[in-house]
Amino acid sequence: MITTLNTIEQYLQQIDKELTTNHAPKWGLMPAQNMVEHLSLVLMLSTGKMGKDFKGDAKRAAKMKANFYGAKYPFPKGVLIPGITPGTVPPLRCSTMAESKALLQKSYTNFLQYYQENPTDQIPHFYFGHLSYEEWIHFQTKHFEHHLMQFGLLPYPLTPEMDTNLNLIGEKLQTVYKGLTTDHSAKWGRMNAHQCVEHLTLVLIYSTGKFGVPFKGDTAAAKKLWHPFTLAANPWKTVFSPSSILGDPKPVRNETIEGSKKALKKAYAKYIHYCKEHPNAITPHGFLGDITTAQWLQVHVKHIDHHLSQFGVIEELV
């Protein structure tokens, strides 16, 4: 419990030092100052300032509570605030951000004092029903995290599927580092093994949008390719047109394949950071059009397998 309280206090310090009215939300309607006052309001709610009787459905509340407290996912986006008309923002109570931050700190102090004096009280949450002090601390921690992520003060965590694919890419790249050598000959295509390593590096960088190359194809046609792409073992052979893929390979930039592998490792490390900082980004793919970070992760998994099978490091995918 102490560790969690320390976490909340770290978030309070971060809000006080870093958050300004210039911060724009990555989702939702609340401006930064309104968000600060919203945090204050929920702290007040957890001390019974808005009543101690739960008026919702107890069975539904119990189910929602179990899902929330059992989940490893971040606080969900788009949760409606009870009593607030959808599409509107609650009015401010304070005239300046500094005053709103002071109110937030006072609300947190009152929260701690209330439960020091009433440690066994259970105060109702709008959705989850009555919560104990420990349960409120857990909720407040996730709630603070959610809004710090909303304003870019904390990175938004990847979904479990994205995290799995990012790790899978790392595992497959280990096979590239350890298993692919200049002695391997391509079963198809014009690239040699050294060029393949640098190609994988370029595609990782390309997927971050760093090259600034827009998608120039037919957007509607590209979108239709996504489903067959996900089903295909090797879409570069069965989904995409071979004539549009094959071309002269780029000259290598590093003198040795080992030097290129080091560059690939560096690019992957930067890509991990990119994914965590930009989990909702949309960047172009040459055939699939504008796709999300989650989709790009799937592309990289299949793309690395495609080239590992091209050089016989793994069995050809069918």
Walk along the chain (318 residues) and give the pLDDT tens digit of each residue. Answer: 555 799 999 999 999 999 999 999 988 899 999 999 999 999 999 999 888 888 889 999 998 888 788 765 567 777 778 778 888 898 999 999 999 999 999 999 999 999 999 999 999 998 999 999 999 999 999 999 999 999 999 887 788 899 899 999 999 999 999 999 999 999 998 999 999 999 999 999 999 998 888 898 999 999 999 999 999 988 988 888 655 555 678 899 999 999 999 999 999 999 998 998 788 889 999 999 999 999 999 999 999 999 999 999 999 876
Integer CA distances (angstroms), 147 to 11, 13, 28, 74, in order: 10, 14, 10, 11
Question: Counting every residue, how long is the chain?
Answer: 318
The reported pLDDT for the residue numbered 83 is 77
The reported pLDDT for the residue numbered 3 is 55
Q: Do 185 and 115 contact (CB within 8 A), yes or no?
A: no
202 CB-contact burial (10 Å; exposed 0-12 / middle 13-18 / buried 19+): middle
The reported pLDDT for the residue numbered 242 is 55
**Pure H helices in the chain:** 2-18, 32-45, 58-70, 97-117, 133-150, 160-179, 193-206, 219-231, 235-238, 242-245, 257-277, 293-310
Model confidence over 165-194: pLDDT tens digits?
999 999 999 999 999 999 999 999 899 999
Tokens matching residue 197: 């390593």
The reported pLDDT for the residue numbered 157 is 76
The reported pLDDT for the residue numbered 1 is 53
Confidence (pTM): 0.59
The reported pLDDT for the residue numbered 86 is 82
The reported pLDDT for the residue numbered 80 is 77
Q: Which domains does the chain have, with CATH numbers?
A: 2-150 (1.20.120.450), 160-310 (1.20.120)
> Of the candidates 287, 302, 160, 172, which has an alpha carbon nearest to the alpha carbon of residue 230?
302
The reported pLDDT for the residue numbered 318 is 65
Separation between Cα atoms, residue 20 and residue 31, nearest integer Å: 10
Block residue for tokens 């957007």: 219
Block residue for tokens 């391509």: 186
Model confidence over 18-67: pLDDT tens digits?
999 999 998 889 999 999 999 999 999 999 988 888 888 999 999 888 87
Q: Do 258 and 184 contact (CB within 8 A), yes or no?
A: no
